[in-house]
Amino acid sequence: MAEDQEDAGADVGGIAADRLRSIIERIERLEEERKALSDDIKDIFAEAKSAGFEVKVVRTILRIRKQEPAEVEEQETLLDLYRRALGM
């Protein structure tokens, strides 16, 4: 059994087992955190909905805020042009 523990840190097939275990465990922790954050975001969207906000519009605003101002302006200009072309 002590030999098994010693081998845990040894290279196995050229792979450093301790390093691999550390990487896997870090990824697992981050995935747990991401899940918790995702749940928090869902709760905030539910709060927005219960406060009378349209969640679809809130999502659109979030997407727009991530873009560069010039990109947003170009999209709005094209949208306006297309609407006028369609008589909207």
24 close to 17: Cβ distance less than 8 angstroms:
no
Copy the structure tokens of residue 14: 């050229």
Mean pLDDT of 49-66: 97
What letter does residue 2 receive in the DSSP assignment?
Answer: H
Would 2 be classed as within a structural domain? Answer: no
The pTM of the full predicted model, rounded to 2 decimals, is: 0.67
Q: Looking at this protein, which amino acid is placed at residue 23? A: I
Would 3 be classed as within a structural domain? Answer: no
Task: Provide the domain limits for residue 75.
Answer: 13-85
Provide the pLDDT confidence category of residue 7 given band limits of 50, 70 and 90: low
Would 5 be classed as within a structural domain? Answer: no
Would 6 be classed as within a structural domain? Answer: no
Q: Is 72 exposed, middle or buried (0-12, 13-18, 19+ CB in 10 A)?
A: middle
Looking at the structure of the chain, the number of domains it has is: 1
DSSP 3-state percent helix, strand, coil across the chain (nearest 5):
80, 5, 15
Would 4 be classed as within a structural domain? Answer: no
